[in-house]
Amino acid sequence: MSTCKEKQTVTKIRKHNRINAFDDNRKLLRYAQLASRNAIGESFEAGISVVYMKDGQLVREDPDHEVTVVKKLQNKEKFDLREYLCHG
């Protein structure tokens, strides 16, 4: 059975900027990154620790930037949405 990568029948076309910024995935991703960074900065300023995933581990970073491993996460198979939709 062939895969989407072998067929190469789909052509990517870069579209112009959308009128509404929330319709543009790149802008949404950028807004999410900025919001995350701002929230982390505000948490540190308020003396609150932040928990996130890094290198397959759940870690907690304190306001003084000391990083503590909370637990090691289980390896999960990477989900490829493009491949899933192609065979769907």
pLDDT (tens digit per residue) in 35-67: 999 999 999 999 999 999 888 899 999 999 999
Whether residue 12 has pLDDT greater than 70: no
What residue type is 42 in one-letter code? E
Rg of the chain over CA atoms, in angstroms?
Answer: 19
Q: What is the pTM of this model?
A: 0.57
d(CA 32, CA 18): 17
Q: What value does the mean pLDDT take over residues 6-14?
A: 59
